[in-house]
Amino acid sequence: MNSSSATRLLSVAVLFGTLGLTSTASYAAGAFDGMSGYWNGGGTVQLSDGSSERIRCRASYAVAGGGRLLQQTLVCASDSARFDITSHVEENGGRITGTWSEATRNVNGQVTGTAQTGRVNAQVAGPGFSASLSVATRGSSQSVTITPQGSDIRNVSVSLKRR
């Protein structure tokens, strides 16, 4: 795997690491209520040159603090790479803040954004990239759209299901 592919897929995996930002309940109950457990699924990474690559992900969510604190462990793999990401996220008054780290490459970054019932809009930043992230949850399904800035990735679309 070349350096460009590794960087590109690391960026995608880090962005997926923020999937735990999904809200399934009202603010009064805690934005992360209903997230505990195991999720998996896949999707497509579309590159600026028009090509695409399939990616598979599995996640584990631990929720605490009345549904306002979330710890996520995420493993994503494509044909060319594998990543292991941990995210810690907190919701307070509809605002989302948190951090992520990728263990195999020893990199980390920040997550900021807002939450509404069943929907999150966030910005993800790390060394050498940033992206907008939109996550919608309905029951045991999650839909994620990611739009990186200044990257050879045009769009990422993933669907996850609770196991």
**Which tokens sit at 147?**
């739009």
Mean pLDDT of the chain: 77
Q: In angstroms, rounded to a whole number, what is the distance separating the alpha carbons of residues 100 and 30?
A: 21
Kindly state the percentage of the chain with pLDDT values over 70: 79
**Which tokens sit at 39?**
């999720």
Question: What's the pLDDT at 22?
Answer: 42
Phi and psi based region of residue 3 (left: phi greater than 0; alpha: psi -120 to 50; beta: remaining): alpha
pLDDT band for 124, please (50, 70, 90 cuts). confident
Question: What's the pLDDT at 107?
Answer: 78
**Which tokens sit at 44?**
């497509």
pLDDT digits (tens, 9 = 90+) for 13-30: 555 555 444 433 333 567
The residue ranges of every structural domain in the chain are 3-162
Question: What's the pLDDT at 26?
Answer: 38
The residue to which tokens 């679309």 are assigned: 157
Phi and psi based region of residue 118 (left: phi greater than 0; alpha: psi -120 to 50; beta: remaining): left
CA distances from 149 to 24, 71, 143, 153 (A): 28, 26, 20, 8
Kindly state the percentage of the chain with pLDDT values over 90: 15
Question: What's the pLDDT at 110?
Answer: 95
Question: What's the pLDDT at 10?
Answer: 52
CATH superfamily of the domain spanning 3-162: Calycin beta-barrel core domain (2.40.128.20)
Question: What's the pLDDT at 7?
Answer: 53
pLDDT digits (tens, 9 = 90+) for 91-121: 999 899 999 887 777 778 999 998 766 677 8
Highest mean pLDDT pick, 29-33, 97-101, 138-142: 97-101
* CB-CB contact of 118 with 24 (8 Å): yes
Q: What are phi and psi of 103, to 5 degrees?
A: -70, -40
Tell which residue, 92, 91, 109, has the closest CA to residue 100. Answer: 109
